[in-house]
Amino acid sequence: MASFTKYVWSLLLGNAAGNASPIHAALIHFPATLYPIAFGSDLIGLALDRFPVTTLVQGLGARGLYALSYYATAAALVTTIPAALTGLAEYFAINKTRSPEAKSYAFWHGALNFATGGIALFNFLTKRKTIDYAPYNFNVFLSGVGFVIVFSSLYLGGHMVYKYGVGVRRMGTGVEPTPNPNSDLKTELNVPEILPKVSEKAKKI
C-alpha cells in the first residue's frame, strides 16, 4: 500500500517515466480559461437580452451563449479535479521550514481556487434548472467575483514559481540549453532590472 501511495504521489508531482516536469502548471490552464469563458458568455447573453439588436440575435444569440456558459462551467469543474489533486501534491511538497512564505502563498492560492470551484458548482446546479440555462442576476454577479478570484489565484501561482521556485527547483539540473542567438539583446536594448535576483534562500527550496 505504501509503495502504491508513493507511486501516485510521484505521478501527481510529474515524476513518471523519466519525466520530472510538474504537471499542475499545465493542468490549471483548462479551468483558468473556462471560468472566464463562462462569465463572459453569461454577461454578453444578458446584454443581448436587455439590448437586442434584432429578435433573431436576441433569441439565438442569448440562448447559445447561456448554453456555452453552462457547459464551460461543467468542463471547468471536471478539469478542476486533476488540477486540484496535482496542486495539493505540490503544496505538501513545499518545505515549510525552508520557506514559510511559499507555504503561505500556496495555502491562499489553494483557498482561492477552492472558492472559485464552489461558486462554479453553485452556478452550475442553479442554471441547470432554468430555461435555456439562463442565469439569474446573482449567478452573473458570482461569476464576476469568481473571475476576479481566478486571476488573483493565478497571480499567486506565478509568484510562487518565479519568486520561490515552487514545483521547479526540485527537478535539479536540466539539459544544457542551446545557445540563444538573442542572448545579448537585453544588453543592446539596455533593459533595466525590474525584479531583484533570486535570493540564496529561494534557491534552496
Alpha helices in 16-94 (DSSP H): 24-27, 29-50, 55-56, 62-93
* Residue 184 reports pLDDT greater than 70: no
What pLDDT score does 185 carry?
43
Range with lowest mean pLDDT among 76-80, 96-100, 126-130, 196-200: 196-200
Range with lowest mean pLDDT among 22-36, 86-100, 116-130: 86-100
Q: pTM of the predicted model, to two decimals?
A: 0.73
Alpha helices in 96-136 (DSSP H): 100-127
Q: Please state, for a pLDDT cut of 90, what percent of the chain lies above it.
A: 40
What pLDDT score does 150 carry?
94
